[in-house]
Structures are given as C-alpha cells and as structure tokens.
Amino acid sequence: MARIKILDRADMNAEQARVYDAAKQSSGIVGGPYYAYIRLPKLFEAAQNLRGSLSSGPLTAREQQIVNMTVARHWGARYPWCAQVRRSRAMGIDQSVIDAINARQTPNLSEAREKTCFTVVRELLANKGLSDDTYAAAEKTMGLESLVALVAAAGSFSMTCMTANTFGIEPPADNPTPLAP
C-alpha cells in the first residue's frame, strides 16, 4: 500500500502541474517514484532531465536495461523491477536474462559491454565501489565516457528504487515477472 497520496492532476499546484504536463508531453513518464517527486517540482524536473540525458548518452538501450534491472534487483524495488521487465521484454531481452538477474545469478549475455554493465553494477552496489581490476577491465571494454554514464545510471536508478521502496509504490497487478524474494 502506498504511503504517499497519489496527487490527481486537478489537485496539483501550478508548478506541479507545469512539470507534470511537460513530462506527459515529452516522455509520458509520470507514475511510480514520480508520484513522490511531484511534491518537489524542481526535483521532478531534474529527475526527468537526468533520465533524458542518460537515455541519449553512450549506453545502448539494452545496456541501460541491464543496468536498471540489476539495480532494481539489488534494492528489491518491485515497481521499478516491473517497469523495467516490461521494457526489457518489449525490446527483446531474453526471459532467461531477466530470470537470472531476478534470481541474483549472472545472466548469459553475449555482448561484452552488456556483461560489463552487469558486472560493474553488481560490484558497485555490493562493495560501494569497484576493484582496480574491475575498473580497468570496464574502462577497456566500455571506454571512459560510457563508464561514467554507467556509474551515473546506476546511481540515478538507485534513487528511483529507493524512492519507490520508501513510499510504498507498488507494481500493477498484471506484473509479468514478479520480483523474487
């Protein structure tokens, strides 16, 4: 059960309505953790801008999905997990990859950059940093700009997951692949 009241568009103040309307027109993403962010319109807008910046950055859409699913699994964030599974399935990521991440196992990824995304995020979240060996391998595989984007994406999506967990934002009933305990 959500701990936070979901604001209807009619109940928003002028600044909340402005950023909500802008998000609806651009990305269409206004649910989930954004139900909390709307309380602080500048944060809502900044989160939208960061999401847009990262999605147009050097990571491919598949790489971004590997990052997001790994982060959601780490945080046990059910709403973000549900949203990312749907998106991953829509873009053709194999169910076996989704299931492996859900089971906290290493997925069978054929692309070196996708493997690196998984490895970096898993180690970063588990150890609060990267070993010298992991960093060197990641920089070699990804390049510095992509590695910066990878770490930023993990941090940004961690904020999304923590927000969903804190405010009790639940996935819809038709969740395709529920998060494992």
Predicted pLDDT at 1: 67
At 49-92, the pLDDT tens digits run 898 899 999 999 999 999 999 999 999 999 999 999 999 999 99
Cβ–Cβ < 8 Å for 76, 101: no
Q: What is the pLDDT of residues 21-32, one digit of tens each?
A: 988 888 777 778
- Secondary structure of 34-92 in HEC code, one letter for each residue: HHHHCCCHHHHHHHHHHHHHHHCCCCCHHHHHHHHHHHHHHHCCHHHHHHHHHHHHHCC
- pTM of the predicted protein model: 0.92
Tokens representing 58 are: 């050097």
Residue that is written with structure tokens 């780490």 in the block: 74
Average pLDDT in the 129-153 region? Answer: 98
Q: CATH 1.20.1290.10: which residues of the chain?
A: 61-166
Q: What is the pLDDT of residues 91-132, one digit of tens each?
A: 999 999 999 999 999 999 999 999 999 999 999 999 999 999
Tally DSSP H helices, then E strands, for the chain: 9, 0
Could you tell me the pLDDT band of residue 48, with boundaries at 50, 70 and 90? confident
User: Which CATH number is associated with domain 61-166?
Assistant: 1.20.1290.10
Spatial neighbors of 69 by CB under 8 A, at least 6 apart, are: 81, 84, 85, 88, 98, 101
* Whole-angstrom distance, CA of residue 114 vs CA of residue 84: 16
